[in-house]
Amino acid sequence: MKKIMILNGPNLNALGTRETNIYGSDTLSDIIEYTKKEAAALGAEIEAYQTNCEGEIIDLLYRAREEEFCGVVLNAAAYSHYSIAIRDAIASVKIPCVEVHLSNIYAREEFRHKSVISPVCVGIISGFGKLVYPLGVKVLCEM
Which residues of this chain interact with ligand DQA, rule CB under 6 A?
11, 75, 77-78, 101-103, 105, 112
Shortest separation between residue 17's beta carbon and ligand DQA, angstroms: 14
CA dist 44 and 129 (Å) reads: 21
Looking at beta carbons only, is 101 or 138 nearer to ligand DQA? 101
Give burial (CB, 10 Å; 0-12/13-18/19+) of 111.
Answer: exposed
Instruction: State in angstroms the smallest separation of the CB of 11 from ligand DQA.
Output: 5
The set of catalytic residues is 23, 101
Taking the least distance from each CB to ligand DQA, the nearer of 13 and 33 is 13
Query: 74 near 100, Cβ under 8 Å?
Result: yes
Phi and psi of 134, rounded to 5°?
-65, -30
Contacts of 24 (CB under 8 A, 6+ apart): 15, 102, 129, 130
Task: Decide whether 74 or 140 has the Cβ nearer to ligand DQA.
Answer: 74
As measured in angstroms, the least distance from the Cβ of 23 to ligand DQA is 7
Q: Which is nearer to ligand DQA, 44 or 77 (CB)?
A: 77
CB of 33 to ligand DQA, least distance (A): 18
Pick from 141, 136, 10: which is nearest to 73 by CA? 136
